[in-house]
């Protein structure tokens, strides 16, 4: 993973790198059984070079903790694009396509059993170009021999608290599958 991170830090495959302070490659346990994929770095992620460290990331940490998952212990977190799109706009199809090569290699290295996709860009960018998050969330997709669960992006929850319940339902499905496929004794305070 370190070599891939080095290679990615000097990537110039798309124009996003020019506007970004640094590459937010990804972090967590490279042997994790759960991989989490978001959209792309925001302001705080760009400043620190780490994924999901701003307000949405803090909420993500709480959601994971409620399922008994520690970000650095049980998961590896990455994004569809590794460089911040200007003004936090949605990455274009060509930016996504050029960055996807890095994500595929991360997935190959981590080799997760479960992938949690956060939001429409992650769903459409990785597994289902015609996907709709409001329709597809909460339903398992078997993709490349991995179980993929799409759910709402935590930034959407910050704007609309009514999305908290469906996200929690989705996390409970992830916990159940994790117990089934990875660790029957996985402990969670809430489910």
Q: Are 169 and 47 in contact (CB under 8 A)?
A: no
* Closer residue to ligand URA (CB): 45 or 170: 45
Residue 115's beta-bridge partner residues?
A: 35, 148
* Closer residue to ligand URA (CB): 52 or 178: 52
* Closer residue to ligand URA (CB): 28 or 51: 51
Residue 137 to residue 123: CA distance in whole angstroms: 9
**Contact status: 42 vs ligand URA (CB under 6 A):** yes
Cα 138 to chain centroid distance, Å, stands at 15
For residue 19, the number of C-alpha atoms closer than 13 Å in the C-beta half-sphere is: 16
**Contact status: 40 vs ligand URA (CB under 6 A):** yes
**Contact status: 38 vs ligand URA (CB under 6 A):** yes
Residue 85 to residue 43: CA distance in whole angstroms: 9
Among the residue ranges 39-47, 93-101, 109-117, 143-151, the one whose residues contact ligand URA (CB under 6 A): 39-47
Q: According to CB under 6 A, which one of 27, 45, 95, 170 is a site residue for ligand URA?
A: 45
**Contact status: 28 vs ligand URA (CB under 6 A):** no
The residue among 99, 75, 79 whose CA lies nearest residue 8 is 99
- CB burial of 41-67 (b: ≥16 within 10 Å; e: otherwise) equals bbebbbeebbbbbbebbebbbebbebb
Q: According to CB under 6 A, which one of 25, 52, 147, 178 is a site residue for ligand URA?
A: 52
Q: Closest CB to ligand URA belongs to which residue?
A: 38
Under rule CB under 6 A, which residues in 53-92 are in contact with ligand URA?
A: 54, 56-57, 79
Residue 16 to residue 137: CA distance in whole angstroms: 29
Under rule CB under 6 A, which residues in 114-153 are in contact with ligand URA?
A: none
Which residues of this chain interact with ligand URA, rule CB under 6 A? 38-42, 45, 51-52, 54, 56-57, 79, 155
């Amino acid at each position: 993973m370190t070599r891939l991170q080095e290679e990615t830090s000097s990537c110039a495959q798309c124009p996003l790198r020019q506007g970004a302070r640094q590459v937010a490659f990804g972090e967590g346990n490279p042997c994790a059984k759960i991989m989490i994929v978001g959209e792309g770095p925001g302001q705080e992620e760009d400043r620190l070079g780490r994924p999901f460290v701003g307000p949405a990331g803090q909420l993500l940490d709480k959601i994971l903790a409620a399922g008994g998952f520690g970000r650095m212990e049980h998961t590896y977190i990455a994004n569809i694009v590794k460089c911040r799109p200007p003004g936090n706009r949605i990455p274009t199809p060509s930016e996504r396509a050029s960055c996807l090569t890095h994500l595929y290699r991360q997935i190959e290295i981590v080799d997760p059993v479960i992938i949690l996709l956060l939001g429409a860009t992650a769903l459409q960018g990785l597994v289902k170009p015609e996907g709709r998050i409001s329709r597809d969330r909460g339903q398992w997709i078997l993709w490349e021999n991995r179980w993929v669960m799409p759910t709402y992006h935590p930034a959407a929850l910050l704007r609309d608290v009514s999305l908290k319940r469906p996200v929690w339902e989705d996390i409970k499905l992830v916990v159940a599958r994790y117990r089934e496929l990875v660790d029957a004794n996985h402990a969670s305070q809430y489910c």
